Amino acid sequence: MPKTTIDYATLSEELENIMLRLQSDDVAVDEAISLYEQGLKLTKQLEDYLAKAQNTITKLQADNK
Amino acid sequence: MCTISGLWPVTRDRGPILSELIDDLVLSVSDFVALLNQTLEFAYPSVTITGELANVRVSKGKWLYFDLKDELASVKFFGTVYQLPGPLEDGMLVQVRGVPRLHPLYGFSVTVQHIQPSGEGAIRRAADLLQAKLTAEGLFDESRKRPLPYPPQRIGLITSSESAAYADFTKILKARWGGLDIELIDVQVQGEAAVEQIVRAVEHFNAQAQPPDILVLTRGGGSAEDLAAFSTEQVTRAVAGSRVPTLVAIGHEVDISLAELAADQRASTPSNAAELLVPDRREVLAALKNYRQQLGQFAGASVQLARQSLQASQTWLDERIIQLIKHQTTHVQQQAHLLEALSPQAILRRGYAVVRLEGKATRGKGLKRGAIVNVELSEALFDAKIEKIEEI
């Protein structure tokens, strides 16, 4: 099965982690800014995914015994 | 076994010739049985009979014997337990399709091809019996339920592609979410073939090298008989045995099929199944928007915190420097006072004098009578001649 779409679950998890990291007390400014940029990029990717991704339906035949 | 193929070139429209032949014919018992079976096979290649079950018994865990009866008659049946949709009991109304035949030793019976409970009461009773049996085995235990991947990427769908269930399910999925790979195995969802086709579809998905993330088995509502396949032992066991997590949605109001009880999760309708399976992209988009704001807030807070910390450092530095300068100033002033106290002028003011010989201050060593020394007082400077010297 060709993977034409990004893996939504992976990206979503990455975003969650960034949000958590950003909320922690020991995050440095440089890191916070970098996390912010990554987070924005991920939300954009996820939005694109939701806007464009189509469902594909393939018909299979069950094995004949 | 004897064959009578040479005697049997007969079709219906040639009946009279047959009866003439039969009249004069003397058959062995085996030949008679074979002849009768050929006749039966020709006349009744398959027959469906409905009646009340009696004398149900299973031999060696495999062979199934029972009678079907009504007020006037009783007929023997023979089959295997694998054909049973679940446990059956005497008195239950069933419908059996089978082939009638005369066994060379044991007499007449109908060989079962398919058996199912008939009528609402019997179907309900059969389902209750099966449910009790499978519950005892632990097939429906809550502890067996696995969480479904949310959202899944690949879905193995088992339904009839002609059905409204299929249309509803895929429509709602499409409206809510994208990027799903749906693999459909088109099966009959009612009738005799349904059970085997559904079981085979579940097995097929499970046997894939990379099985889907989830199996969805669904059909719309219908009568108890329409939905019977989903409460058979075969389908229920297939669902329970699936190593791929399962979602079963059989659209009906009152009863829950056994396949649904065995599934990791059930849904009330095909549409409901789609709703449970994936989030609504509109909600997720709204959440993402919210996330973006939060990202800004969190990152902003971090920068703000750093700024505050920087300001605090600056203030501390400023204060520290002022403090240091003050401290140094005091120190220098003290030094100056000390220096002042130690200065020769101050000593002279207290009444002491500096005596210089030839321009150099002297402590008295080497002074001689008659020498001219210069004496400095606080308020006068004069030369003096040494008259007398006493060594101290």
Residues 13 through 32 of chain A touching chain B, CB cutoff 8 Å: 15, 18-19, 22-23, 27-29, 32
Instruction: Give the minimum alpha-carbon distance from B292 to chain A in angstroms, rounded to a whole number.
Output: 6
Give the ipTM: 0.73
Helix or strand holding residue A11 (H, E): helix A8-23
| Chain B residues whose beta carbon lies within 8 Å of the beta carbon of residue A35 | 295, 299
Judge whether A49 is closer than 8 Å to chain B, CB to CB. Answer: yes
Going by pLDDT thresholds of 50, 70 and 90, the confidence category of residue B19 is low
Rounded to whole angstroms, the Cα distance separating B182 from B56 reads 44
Q: What's the pLDDT tens digit per position in A31-62?
A: 888 988 998 899 898 888 888 888 888 898 87
pLDDT of residue B3: 43
pLDDT of residue B15: 56
Is B166 in contact with B176 (CB distance < 8 Å)?
no
The yes-or-no verdict on residue B133 having pLDDT over 90 is yes
Is B74 in contact with B64 (CB distance < 8 Å)?
no
pLDDT of residue B13: 56
Rounded to whole angstroms, the Cα distance separating B294 from B31 reads 90
Q: How many domains does chain A have?
A: 1
Q: Which two tokens stand for residue B221?
A: 């509502």
Q: What's the pLDDT tens digit per position in B173-190?
A: 999 998 899 999 999 999
- Give the start-end residues of each E strand in B33-91: 47-59, 63-69, 74-80
Q: What's the pLDDT tens digit per position in A22-36?
A: 888 788 888 888 988
B119 φψ region: left (φ > 0), alpha (ψ -120 to 50), beta (else): left
Instruction: Give the minimum alpha-carbon distance from A40 to chain B in angstroms, rounded to a whole number.
Output: 6
Choose among A5, A15, A64: nearest Cβ to B179: A5
pLDDT of residue B214: 97
Beta-strand pair B354-357/B372-376: antiparallel
Rounded to whole angstroms, the Cα distance separating B354 from B361 reads 7
Rounded to whole angstroms, the Cα distance separating B367 from A28 reads 80
Neighbours of B349 (CB within 10 A): 12
Can you give the residue range of the structural domain that contains A3?
A: 1-65
Q: Which amino acid is at B337?
A: H
- Kindly list the residues of chain B whose beta carbon comes within 8 Å of any beta carbon in chain A: 149, 151, 153-154, 161, 170, 173-174, 177-187, 197, 200-201, 203-204, 207, 210, 281, 284-285, 288-289, 291-292, 294-296, 298-299, 302-303, 306
Displacement of CA B101 from its chain's centroid (Å):
52
Is B194 in contact with B185 (CB distance < 8 Å)?
no
How far does chain A reach from its first CA to its final CA, in angstroms?
25
Neighbours of B28 (CB within 10 A): 11
pTM over 0.90: no
The residues, ordered by sequence, that sit 6+ positions from B287 with a Cβ below 8 Å of its Cβ are: none
pLDDT of residue B184: 96
What mean pLDDT comes out for the span B326-340?
90
Q: Within B160-217, where are the H helices?
A: 164-176, 192-207
What mean pLDDT comes out for the span B188-195?
91
**Which of A16-30, B42-56, B213-227, B238-252 bottoms out in mean pLDDT, i.e. has the lowest?**
A16-30
pLDDT of residue B2: 42
| Chain B residues whose beta carbon lies within 8 Å of the beta carbon of residue A40 | 292, 295
User: Is B379 or A9 the better-scoring residue by pLDDT?
Assistant: B379
Neighbours of B19 (CB within 10 A): 9
Residue whose tokens read 């004949």:
A64
What is residue B266's DSSP assignment? E
Choose among A8, A22, A63: nearest Cβ to B200: A63
Contacts 24+ apart (CB under 8 A), B116-121: B116/B85, B116/B225, B116/B228, B117/B85, B117/B88, B117/B92, B117/B93, B117/B228, B118/B50, B118/B93, B118/B94, B118/B225, B119/B93, B120/B224, B121/B93
Q: Select the residue from B154, B290, B292, B295 to test the A interface by mutation, using most A Cβ atoms within 10 A.
A: B295
Minimum CA–CA partner of B172 in chain A: A55
